[in-house]
Structures are given as structure tokens and as C-alpha cells.
Structure 1
Amino acid sequence: MAQPEFPNERRRGDRRQRAGGGIKPPRFSMWPLLALFGVLILMNVLGPTRPTKIPYSDLKNRISARQAEKVRIGATTIEAIATDSIRKAGGPERWRADKVEDDQLVPLLEARNVPYEGMAEARWGMVIWGLLPLLLLVGLWVFMFRRMNPTQGVLTVGKSKARIVGEEGTGVSFDDVAGVDEAKVELQEIVEFLKTPDKFARLGAKIPKGVLLVGPPGTGKTLLARAVAGEAGVTFFSISGAEFVEMFVGVGAARVRDLFAQAKSQAPCIIFIDELDALGKARSPGNMLGGNDEREQTLNQLLVEMDGFDPRLGVIIMGATNRPEILDPALLRPGRFDRQVLVDRPDVSGRLAILKIHAQGITLGPDLDLERIARRTPGFVGADLANLLNEAALLAARRDKASVGMQEVDEAVDRIVAGLEKRNRLINDKERTIVAYHEAGHAIVAERVPTADPVHKISIIPRGVAALGYTQQLPTEDRYLLQKQELMDRIAVLLGGRVAEEIVFNEISTGAGNDLERVTELARSMVTEYGMSRELGPVNLAGPRRTQFLQQDGGMPAQRNYSEETAREIDGEIRGLIEGTYERVRRILTADRDVLEVLARRLLEKEVVDEAELREIMGLPPRTHEPPPERVVETPPVNGAGGGVQAAASSATRDDTVAQPPSRGGRGSSRKRGRQP
């Protein structure tokens, strides 16, 4: 199929540049600086000394005392050269005084037989000699600037720093991107427009000017943008939002103008602005703190440029951010970034596809099951999965294995979720025993309550900075909604460690502090956000949820919108919910006291107990690892109950002797932390 004709197509020429292949900047050298200091020292040693300025009367007295060897008389100044005896005694070589109308000076000079002559006031040599150090400094600055920026001159700071990939393509296609099938379908329209614009022009359709890729870090937004350029076979301009703004006022706006000028001359092309929030943050109503508004000027120029070019040119602007809530509304209106594509965390099938891509260059063992790994890593994004396989490959290489097996993958998951093992950390027997019973309590409750995620592994091996052990729960499927009973079971699992300590030792430790914090947070959300309280009913008392990023940017927390009496009722409901669940957990662990003792002793003996051994101790049949039937959720929530519940679910078994892994992976996993009282 013939390539379409775009405006400015004939001017493309040899604009192709290899990404990252430009001139390598030379290393910084101290020799020019040392040479400059040497020249300044020589000038100070060899240059003429400045005359000592004295009053006119003092000059006459020195002439009378025959201390002057020669005198020069100018229009406004008089200069006397000292005799050899004065110079040898350490005196100055010359004296200078302002001229005074006096008829006695010349007779005095003749009487003392001192030769005198006229002196020209304009001494350009001395002026140039005085300015020479400054000129040398300016020359050195220009030289070093050119050395550090070999492709730019001193006055080209306003040029765009975009990295350009030419017609040979980015080397990335949609086949290299997995786990974001919906996003690829949305972006296929952009590829078709760049390839066949007549198909859209025939119907009068206008392609969106801007496409904003929104999603958590590590989901592949940049890779997806490069894949669009690779599929379309067009020039790809890549730049970060932070590269527009620098210390010079007006540089950001100038770089925006230069970037769009280059793009228009090389159409069809794609302009990709990574981390758009660094440039497109919402403008404040007024500059209350003073200072310059360089970033806002740059944003204004970007808005103007996006409005000012013809969409028929074939210039597509793509942006990527994980903070869409702080972007300026003018940037998101139709005609600018008028299409937003969500690049979300992959589901189990997406994780499997991502693992297959990253496993292509790794020698896999016969026991390695990628599908099982995909089911065990809910919440992991593409970057997490790539890191997981790389960590497993590193472990296999250190052990001189020929392939990567399931054991290395298990250890890589533990390392990512809970941290590096600290087997050399010294823990006394009493604390080690407390940790064992605490973790055993978590595990037993998780297996006894009906809706908790199954326990995969229990360990009392210290990990990370302050982790003394962990209980790892792995959900069997991706969840979008949680019911009240499921939340109650999660609270029960969180309380299992503290209740086990109280039953066995008749004492409690500081290890359950974070347990109680998370239990209280989850119970408060049930009462105030999800309307799960019988007394208060189906009302939301928490108000709109503020995002973490806005709070970091100085956003005010939502104010309380209920009375003191209602606040007391909320506190009573939260306390009653937690205390009722506490008694439920006590009954479970009291009935399983023998199992608790056996499991704790096994942990003290082996340090790690897996799922099969746990179920054997509890007298339960082995669990099959068949994938569960798919759950159909007609309307997945975004910011409603489902989103909040999922956030709570992702921290289901963390306590102060149990801490949760990073939110990006392993929902329900936990690791133990010790806290000083």
C-alpha cells in the first residue's frame, strides 16, 4: 500500500537520527581551570605595580627630601618615581597625587635638579591589562559551555532537548506490549490515522490531537507510546516534562515552540511527553508566595501550540502521567488531550502474557509454571514481573544452575515482597517464640474463617530492615468488590496474632501495634464510608476521599460534617465491631489451641512452613491449585466502595509484627516487624 501524502513530506530529507547515538559529551577536565589560575598568578607577578596614592602636600615634601628620581605631570594627576634607596628599603616604586593649581612645583623641581615631563592621561594599556582577568574568565566559561554542549552554542538554550527516533522506527511494536489489550485497541485508531489519513478525511472525521496515557508506575505507558510510533513507522519525539523548565526565564516556552516547529517540519510524527504532570500541573489562582511563574508560562505556551496546529498535519501528541488529578483542566479539554487511555494493572491473563514476553531470554526449568506465577502475583505490574524473573535468574546464576526453577521464583517473590533475608540478625529465644505464636495465630485464623485468602507460606526468618517474619496470603483471583463478611474476616485475620499472644502468654507485646492501626482503619471505613453499620445506616460520613498526591501538595483534609453525638456513635460502632471480632478470634484459637502449639513448635524448628504442611497440621485436605471460575462484575467501581475496599484488602494481614509488602504487588502478603516500646 502506498504511503499517504502529508504536508511537508518532501522536506523530510535526512532528518533521521539514531536514538541515543549522538556525539558523546567529553569528560570535564580541570586543566583549563588550572591554566587560567597560572596565568592570573603570572600577571600578578610580572605586571606593573599600581602607584601609591598620597596627598599633594606629601608629594611635595618627598620631592623636597630628594626622594623622587623623576616626576611626570599630567592634566589631573602628578606621578613621582622613587629613588633606588627608597625602593631598596621596601618603599613603593611610585607615588601619585591629584594635581593642585600651584606655581611652586616646577621651581621646586628645578631647585632639586629633579627631571620632569608631561604625562598622557589616556593609558589604554593599563585599562586592557586590568580587564584581562575578566576577559579570561569569560573565555573559559564559553569554552567549557561548548565542551559540555558540543551540539549547541551559547545562545541556543531555548532549543528543544527532545530525543528523536527517525523513520527506521523505535524497534517496538504492539507484540512487545502485553497486559494492556484495551489500551492497544484504543491506540490502534491513532496508528490507522497515521498510516491511512484519507480513510478518516473522507468522512470528515478529525483525529484527536492529544492522547493521555494514565496509569500506575511501571504499567508500560512509555513502552506503549513507542509501540504506537513503531507500528505507524513515523518519527518519534521523546521528551520529559521536567526538561522544559530550567533556571533561565523563558527557556521552557522557547523549547515548546522549537519542539512544535520541528514536529511540523517532520510530519507525520508523534510527540511524546513523559511525566506530563511536571509541566502540566494545575495553575494556581494567584502567585501568593511571589517568585517567578516560569512553569506556568511554559504550560501556557504548550496550550497555545496545541490549539495552533492543523490536525491534518499528522502530528499526534502523547503524554503519560500517574497523577492525572493534578493536571490543569485546560490541558484535558477537547481539542488538546481530549482522549485519555487507562493503562491499568494487568489481570491474571495479562500477567501471564507479560511473563511470557520477559521469559523469552531466560532459560526456564521444567518445573517452572508461568501460569501459576501469574496467579500468585496479583497487583504486580509489568516492571514488577520483569524484576521478579530477573531476580530469579540472578539467584539461579549464583547457585550455578543451568535453568531457573520454581524455587528461585518463590525466593524472588519473598525478596521483593518482604525484603532480603537477615539470617545473621540475633534474636533472643523469647522474642523468637513470641513471633512464632503470633504468626501461627494469623495463619490458623486465615484458614478457619470462610472468606480469607489462603495462606501460602509462614516464616519467622528476619527480612528487610526490621522484619522479624511474615505470613504470606495469596488471593486466588483478582477482586473488585468485597462484601461485609469478607471485610470482617480480614479484620479477624489481622487480630489473630495479638489474640494468640494473649492466649499463650497471658500478655501482649508491642508487635501488634500496626495490626490494631490497620484494624481500626478498616473498621472506620466500614462504618463511615461503606454504610455497613446497623446503628448509623447507609450513610457516608467520611466525605469525599482526598487523593494522596493532593495531600502531599498541600490540599486540606476533608472537614468533619457530622455532630459530636454522631462522632461518639461512630466510635462506639468501631469499638463494638472490633471487640466482637476479637471474641470471635479468641473462640477460634481456643478451639485450635493444640494446633497453635504444634504449628508454633514447627516454626521454631524449621523457620518456614508452607501451605501443604500447614493444612496437614490443621487436618485439612490438600488444596488444589485449579484456577477459580471467572467472576463477572458488570460495573467495576473506580472511586466508590470497591476502590476503597480493595485498598483495604491489599493490606489484609499486616501488623507490627506483620507488615505488608509494597502495594504494587502481592495483595494480602505480610511480613513481621518488631517495634521498640
Structure 2
Amino acid sequence: MQPQSPPPPPPPPGRESKGGARGASARLGGLPRWSLWVLVGVLLLGFVLAGFFPSEPREDLTYSEFRTAVLDGQVQDIEIDNNNGDIDGELEDGTLFTTTGPVDGGIPDEDLRILRDQGVEVSYVTPSPSFIAAILPYIIVFGLFIGFFIWMQRRAQGQMSGVMNIGKSKAKPYDTERPGTTFDDVAGYEGVKQEITEVVDFLRHPEKFAEIGARIPKGVLLVGPPGTGKTLIARAVAGEAGVPFLSVTGSDFMEMFVGVGASRVRDLFQTAKKMGKAIIFVDEIDSIGRKRGAGLGGGHDEREQTLNQMLSEMDGFEATEGIVMMAATNRPDILDPALLRPGRFDRQVVVPLPESEERLAILKVHCKSKRLAADVDLNTVAKGTPGMSGADLANLVNEAALYAVRAGDDEIHNRHFDMARDRVLMGQRRESMALSDQEKEVIAYHEAGHAVCAAVLPHADPVHKVTILPTGMALGVTQQLPEERHIYRQDYIEDSLVVRMGGRIAEEVVYGVYSTGANNDLTGATDLATKMVREWGMSERVGPQAWSGGNQVFLGESMMASKEYSDDTARVIDEEVERILREQQQRCRDTLHENRNGLDLVARALLERETIDGAEVSRLIELGRGTAEELPERESVTTD
């Protein structure tokens, strides 16, 4: 019988439901609190405006019409306003009227005489403003003054509440009532799922482990390259176990105030303990879990205090309490050793880049909501994307969908996946870049040199596509599709060096001079040859010795470390790197001389069509070998 799930966690302190006291104070009778102030304002405005509108309707007359009515004996009495000269009166038939008389100097004496002769009763009034109109300016000023102080008080309270809550954890809780992520949502990675199934079993059936005396690891560290789905796997563990999930990133602990990180760590673990069973997930833990005291001048004091508090909290609870801590990083080499010792993060689960079958499963997940054409073979796409992570594959599918929309198609075709793969691997094509004919020919022979070496050498990766169109940061690209490999033999690495040098040597064979286009090729070849000698033991003179790459993570760490080898050994390493590069350069030169006709054919095809595929490269090389005597003489543009 499965144990009952723990009750949902109580709301955090200071937060109550809408039906509580806070909700009753925030709303009155189902209306917002500010509606009362709006009602008061409307009533006040009604009282003010009432004094400016006449209580009885009156007929508007011009002064000339009023004077004519007086001469005709139709006016009974009038009332003259001393402030603005307005005249209100009543006609003999009872009609009320109003008109505007002269303000400066009052009514002319002649008009007054006419009024007396006609027997019109004349009275003068000086109206005083109403009480509300009189005090309205004072009310407005006083109201603005009070409102300003209320706003300042609320702002201060908000800042104080923010300061008081600054030590609270920023973890996002995902309880069991929300739709959870399970292992079915994680495509592939069956080995990883199997390895962390123990955590799920412990959270579901802790009594089985308690009976036999077994302890589940307190911490599980997910290690893998970016984009492999470490966060998704952690959520799937919580979804399978049916327990609350607290997610936080390493940077959420850091703040400008001293001691805030440690306070947030304490609050995080206290929140987890209140939930009973829970999973605490810290993403990018390397931001706070770096080695203490490493680098020039020591470590960051606030970061170290946060790490010390986390280590203390992990020692403060037992594994039988039902709290499991999970973390993710792609740099386990920079983590503090205290984090990785038994009793803390004592289990590391490697989440590698997906294999071909796993890539196929990931592609199927991302293509569920996409409309695919009949010519799309996801198995072929999966085999043609080695080294891509789950995030890369999701981006690939989205790019293919975008290309389909741009082309006006209602389905995603295979050509759209090819275009998306080229976009992801090689970069965006630069249509606006204009090259001269001379530069195009140099680039064509450069890329043809890479392509010929890759197609001829037995251990090199096959050629997929060659183009002389400016793409990404390169003026031309030779794209190879590497096969699925987990170890690299020396003959494969040596052929890779030959392929890297193919562009530079092709320029030497054809033109007799070099260009700057081989800068990136030489950098990669030198780095590869250095690793052969210093790290992989592929040099007879150096022998079976290996040293690290020498790239220290922290500034100043190399100053504190002792020298790994003597100056004589460093000289031997440099000589061996130079020897390997020169030997592979000569191999490349011999290869291109043997396939000179194929080199010319590939270069001409690139100049004519700008882009050719790997099958066309192989066909042109075979054509060059079989019909060498029938090829016309090569015409080239000189570089002078």
C-alpha cells in the first residue's frame, strides 16, 4: 500500500488567502478599496458644480433684444449683477430671461431712463460665492498635501517590507496540484532515468529503505553540457515522486548586502522541512559552489559565506527526513571539494550529449505539433546531427519550421531541415557581401583543398557540403558530418590535421603564396597537435606522459601551482608539435599533388555553382583521376 501524499504546503508567512482578513480589508462588498474614494470625489464634484448651474431655465437674449423688449413694455423687472454685469429678468408673460450688460460703467444713463419710463423694476445684487466654492481651493491644497504624505508612507512601508523580506528564499515552489513533468516527457536518457530511479523510490516508499537500514544520497549532482535537459530531468524526478519541487538558481542567493545569501539558504531549507517530503533543485550551482580560496586574492567573501551555510544545512538534516537536494552544472571541475564529498552531493549523474537513437526520440517529441511532409525522415536527420544537444535539436526543428513559413509551404519538407542544419552548423549566409573574381577563385581553391583531402583520406569525416558563399564569419565553408565516435584514434586525428591544412596548401600548390584565410585552420591544427603531444601521449620522444592543458579556471591560480615539467621538456614538446604539423603538412601537399586534377575540377564547380555536395566532390575527384589527359589546361587569375 502506497503512503499517502503529504498535505499541500501552508501559505508562506505574511500571505493569506483571498477569503481571509487581508482579503476582507482589501475589498469592501466585492468592490476595490479605491472605489470608496472615487464615490466621495464624485459627490464632492456634484456639490461644487451645482452652484454654477441655474436652478431654472432662462431664455438667452442679446442686449439689443432686451432693449427692444423694454421699449415695447414687455419687461416686468430685472436684476443686475454688480460683478459681471449679467442681467436676469422676467417678461410680462412670465418668461424668464438672461442677458449680458455692460460691465465697465454699468448700464448707460439713457437706458436707465428708458427703464424708469417703462416702469421696469430695477434691482442690483452682489452675489457671494457658495460655501463649497469658497473652501474648494483650500480643500484641494490640503488634499494634495495629505495625499503626498500617504504616498510617502506607503512607499516607505514597501521599501521596509522589501528589506525585511530580502533574506527570504526566492525558490519557486511547484506543488503536487500542478501538472507535473514525468519521465515520459524526457525523451531518451534511459540510463540516466534508471540511475536516479532510486531517488523516486525513496520518496515514494521510504519505509523500504528504513527497514533494511539503507540511506539514499542526500544530494544528486547532474553534470552535463548545456542544453542536455538537466533541469527537465530534475522536474521529472519530482513529478514521478509526487512531492513538492523547489527550484532556485545559484545567482538567486547573491545580493549586494552581506549575509543575504546565507539567510536565503536557511530560509530555503526551512521551507523544505515544512513541506515534509520535497526536492530542492539548485540550477547552475557553480555560481555559488566554486572553490574557496582559489585564484588571485582569494574568493568572494559573500559567495563563500553562502557556500558555508549550504554545506552546514546539508549536514543538518538526515536523509530519512524525505528531503533530497539536486543540482545541475556544466563545470564540475570548479566546484569546491566539500560539496562533492560523501554526505553531501555524493552521487554524480552524467547527462551526456544524446546518441543517435536518443536524438531520434527527442526529434519526435519536438515534431509532435509540427506538420511534416512525407519526404522527411527523422532517422536520417538524427544521424546527421551528431554532437547536438536537446536544445540544439529543438532549435533545429524550429528553424526548419521558420524556413517552411518563409517559403510559403504548408508543410515542413526535408530541404527545410537541410537548410536549418546549415544555418545552425555554419551560420547565417551573408547575402550582402560582394567578393571580387580574384577573391572567389582563391576561396574556391581553398575550400576545394579541404574537400579533396576529406574525401580522399580514409579516416577523415565524410564531406557533406562545400560552399564559397560567405556564411557566418567565414568566406567559405567545407562542412563534414562526423560519425558517432567516443574515442579518437591517432590516424583519425592525423587525417583531421591534413584536412585542416588542405586550404592553405591548396593555395600554395596553385598560386605559390599564402593568404590570411587559413588563420583559423592553423589555430585549430596547432591546438590539436599540442594535445597529441602533451595530453594524449602520441609522441615517441615525450613518451607516455600527460599534462593538463594549462588553462586555469581562476585568475592567478597558475601562479600558485608548481611547474608541471622542466624547460627542457617544454622545448621537446614544442619540437614535437612542430614535427607533427610539418609531417601532416607534407602529407597534405602530397595528397593534393596526386589529386591536382580533381582539385581543379572541384574549384571550377564551386566557381560555377557556388555550392556542391559531398557526392559531387567524390565524383569530380574520380573524374580527375580517370581522364587526366583529357582535361583542358587550367586558367587561373593571378594574385599579383
Per the normalisation by structure 1, the TM-score is: 0.68
The CA distance in 1 between the partners of 2:199 and 2:623, in whole Å, is 55
Tell me what 1:58 maps to: none
Counterpart check, 1:480 vs 2:494:
no
Given that 2:334 and 2:553 are in contact with CA atoms closer than 8 Å, whether structure 1 keeps it comes out as: no
C-alpha distance in 2, partners of 1:204/1:482? Answer: 44
Task: State how far apart, in whole Å, the 2-side matches of 1:484 and 1:220 are.
Answer: 33
Alpha-carbon distance, 1:441 to partner: 0.8
**2:240 corresponds to which of 231, 239, 243:** 231
Q: Is the 8 A contact 2:288 2:307 kept in 1?
A: yes
Q: Residue 549 of structure 2 is aligned with which of 545, 549, 561?
A: 545
- Give runs of aligned pairs for residues 199-210 of structure 1, distance below 5 A: 199-210=208-219
User: For structure 1, which runs of at least 5 residues remain unmatched after alignment?
Assistant: 16-131, 147-151, 622-677
Letter in 2 for 1:404: I
- Is 1:343 the counterpart of 2:351? The answer is yes
Aligned mate of 2:513, from 491, 507, 510: 507
Deviation at 1:185, TM superposition (A): 0.8
Cα distance between partner residues in 2 of 1:456 and 1:443: 9
CA distance in 2, matches of 1:448, 1:219: 35
Q: CA deviation at 1:153?
A: 5.2
Aligned to 1:614: 617
Matches within 5 A, 1:93-108: none
1:228 is displaced (CA, Å) by 0.5
Which whole-Å CA distance do the structure 1 matches of 2:571 and 2:259 have between them? 56
1:41-80 paired onto structure 2 within 5 Å = none
SS state of the match for residue 536, structure 2?
coil
Cα distance change of structure 1 residues 567 and 545 upon mapping to structure 2, 3 Å threshold:
closer
Q: Work out the CA distance in 1 between the residues paired with 2:375 and 2:290.
A: 49
Whether the 8 Å CA contact 2:295–2:554 is kept in 1: the answer is no
> What SS class does the counterpart of residue 213 from structure 1 fall into?
strand
Question: Which of 290, 302, 306 is the equivalent residue of 1:281?
Answer: 290
Aligned partner of residue 556 in structure 1, secondary structure: helix
Q: Deviations over 1:573-628 (max 9, x none)?
A: 3333322322222222122222111111110111100122222212289xxxxxxx
**What letter corresponds to residue 387 of structure 1 in structure 2?**
N
1:322 aligns with 2:330: yes
Cα distance change, pair 564–434 in 1 and its aligned pair in 2 (3 A): same
**Matched residues in 2 for 1:400 and 1:250: separation?**
57
The verdict on how the C-alpha distance between 1:592 and 1:154 changes in structure 2, with shifts beyond 3 A counting, is closer
Task: Map 1:551-570 onto structure 2 (within 5 A).
Answer: 551-556=553-558, 561-570=564-573
Q: 1:157 to 1:444 in 2, by over 3 A?
A: same
Q: Is the 8 A contact 1:11 1:265 kept in 2?
A: no
Report the CA distance shift for 1:2/1:416 in structure 2 as closer, same or farther (over 3 A).
Answer: same
Q: Please, which of 312, 320, 327 is the counterpart of residue 320 of structure 2? A: 312
The 3 A distance-change label for structure 1 pair 315 and 473 is: same
Counterpart mapping for 1:503-652 below 5 A = 503-540=509-546, 543-546=547-550, 550-556=552-558, 561-619=564-622
Structure 2 CA distance for aligned equivalents of residues 261 and 564 of structure 1: 55
Contact between 2:262 and 2:306, CA under 8 Å: does it hold in 1? yes
Matched, 1:399 2:413: no
8 Å CA contact 2:597–2:621 kept in 1: the answer is no
Contact 2:443 2:476 in 1 (8 A): yes
Deviation per CA, 1:497-523, whole angstroms, max 9, x where unpaired?
111111111221111122222222222
Is residue 457 of structure 1 aligned with residue 454 of structure 2?
Answer: no
Give the letter for the 1:378 counterpart: P
Structure 1 pair 233–562 and aligned structure 2 pair: CA distance change class (3 A): closer
Distance 1:413 1:620, change over 3 A: farther
**Distance in structure 2 (CA, Å) of the matches to 1:600 and 1:212:** 51
Change in 2 beyond 3 A, CA 1:154/1:139: farther
Match for residue 3 of structure 2?
3
1:468 matched to 2:475? The reply is yes
Return closer, same or farther for 1:306/1:499 CA change in 2, 3 Å cut-off. same
Aligned partner of residue 202 in structure 1, secondary structure: helix
Structure 2: distance between partners of 1:535 and 1:205: 52
Contact 1:4 1:195 in 2 (8 A): no
- Specify the alignment match of 1:178 in structure 2: 187
* Residue 156 (1) aligns with residue 154 (2): no
Deviation larger for 273-282 or 523-532: 523-532
**d(CA) in 2 for partners of 1:618, 1:527:** 34
The secondary structure found in structure 2 opposite 1:467 is coil
Provide the rounded CA distance (Å) in 1 between the counterparts of 2:463 and 2:187: 29
Amino acid at match of 2:522: L
Letter in 2 for 1:394: L
| Matched position secondary structure for 2:164 | coil
- Alignment partner of 1:280: what SS? coil
Q: Percent of aligned positions with the same letter in both sequences?
A: 49
| CA 1:162–1:591: 2 relative to 1, 3 Å | same
From 142, 162, 178, give the equivalent of 2:156: 142
Deviation at 1:289, TM superposition (A): 6.7
Secondary structure, aligned partner of 2:220: strand
Residues 1:416 and 2:424 aligned together = yes
C-alpha distance in structure 1 between counterparts of 2:499 and 2:562, whole Å = 32
Matched, 1:240 2:249: yes
Report the CA distance shift for 1:175/1:620 in structure 2 as closer, same or farther (over 3 A). Answer: farther
Larger Rg: 2
Within 1, Cα distance between the matches of 2:269 and 2:566?
Answer: 56
1:562/1:279 CA distance change after superposition, 3 Å: closer
SS of match in other structure, 1:619:
helix
Equivalent residues in 2 for 1:85-96, closer than 5 Å: none
Question: AA paired with 1:393?
Answer: A
Within 5 A, what are the aligned runs for 1:429-444?
429-444=437-452
* Deviation of the 1:532 alpha carbon: 2.3
Question: Greater relative contact order (Cα 8 A, min sep 6): structure 1 or 2?
Answer: 1
SS in 1 for 2:553: helix
Q: Secondary structure at the match of 1:468?
A: coil
Residues 437 and 497 in structure 1, CA contact (< 8 A), matched pair in contact too: yes
Q: Whole-Å Cα distance in 2 between the matches of residues 580 and 167 of structure 1?
A: 64
- CA–CA separation in structure 2 for the residues paired with 1:479 and 1:198: 44
Query: What per-residue deviation string (whole Å, max 9, x for no partner) do you get for residues 267-326 of structure 1?
Result: 111111111111222221799479x72222222221111111232221111111111122
CA drift at 1:169: 4.3
What's 1:637 paired with?
none
Secondary structure at the counterpart of residue 609 of structure 1: strand
Please say if residues 295 and 555 of structure 2, whose CA atoms lie closer than 8 Å, have aligned partners that are also in contact.
Answer: no
1:169 and 1:233 in contact (8 A); partners too: no
RMSD, matched Cα? 2.7
For residues 473-510 of structure 1, give each alpha carbon's deviation from its aligned partner in whole angstroms, at most 9, with x where no partner exists. 1123x212222221211111111111111111122111
SS class of match (2:254): coil
For residues 114-173 of structure 1, the C-alpha deviation after alignment (integer angstroms, 9 at most, x for no partner) is xxxxxxxxxxxxxxxxxx9x9899636425648xxxxx6542221111111111245211
Separation in 2, partners of 1:551, 1:201: 42
Matching residue of 1:630: none
Query: Which residue is 1:445 aligned to?
Result: 453
Contact 1:460–1:608 at 8 Å: present in 2 too?
Answer: yes
Structure 2 residue aligned with 1:30: none
1:494 — aligned with what? 500
Letter aligned with residue 227 of structure 2: G
Give the aligned partner of residue 435 of structure 2.
427
- Whole-angstrom distance in 1 between the partners of 2:429 and 2:325: 46
Aligned residues of 1:142 and 1:154 also touching (Cα < 8 A): no
Amino acid in the other structure paired with 1:580: E
Alpha-carbon spacing, 1:528–1:237, altered in 2? closer, same or farther (3 Å): closer
Q: Distance in 2 between matches of 1:315 and 1:620?
A: 68
Q: Which residue of 1 aligns with 2:60?
A: none
8 Å contact kept, 2:534–2:548: no
Mapped to 1, the partners of 2:418 and 2:295 lie a distance apart of 54
CA contact (8 A) 2:294 2:554 kept: no
